[in-house]
Amino acid sequence: MKKKTQVLEKTITNKMYWIRNQKVMIDKDLAQLYGVETKVLKQAVKRNMERFPNDFMFELNKEEFTNWRSQFVTSNSSDKMGLRYAPFAFTEQGIAMLSSVLNSKKAIEINIKIIRVFIKIRQTFLEHVDLKLEIENIKKTLSNQSKNIELVFTYLDELIDKKAQQKPRKKLVTKNNQYGS
């Protein structure tokens, strides 16, 4: 069962795209996961448009549609991947809303799994950001230490130069010490 879940998670992750600076899933892929036709999914969404504001779901424009298709190495651009219309892209919130529009048990089950994948991706991203910040702090500390070491060597070079330019001191001869030692 765990292997089946991992395969499904990988399938879901592979169907996520970065569009308009956010992770989204396309209607065609969601319909496939839910076991319904894309047309059925789109009709359900269109009947409930008030549930899908632009930050939940949007239709890809021509440029986005072209860029999205170009992500597929094997895509056949002449048939638009079997699509007549630009697909809908659903954000994490839009996918959560889909479960209220598609009332099948499978849709609810798949939605839960998709949301969990989104959460996992967000957690991984946050961990990555924390590590990056920590590395930047270490770099900053090392950079400061390098500058300090450089400064010490500069001062040492100046002292060495100064000592090399110094004239030898005359030895004082005192009554008690006739030899200057």
Domains identified in the chain, total number: 1
Closest CA to 71 of 12, 8, 17: 17
Closest CA to 117 of 30, 29, 18, 16: 16
pLDDT at 101: 85
Report which of residues 4 and 16 the model is more confident about.
Answer: 16
pLDDT at 78: 45
Q: Containing domain of residue 9, as a range?
A: 2-121
pLDDT band at residue 122, thresholds of 50, 70 and 90?
confident
Backbone φ and ψ of 115, nearest 5°: -60, -40
* Domain-embedded: residue 99: yes
pLDDT band at residue 28, thresholds of 50, 70 and 90?
very high
pLDDT at 51: 92
Tokens 């959560």 sit on residue: 96
* Domain-embedded: residue 134: no
Report which of residues 181 and 160 the model is more confident about.
Answer: 160
The alpha carbon torsion through 60, 61, 67, 69 (nearest 10 deg) reads: 60
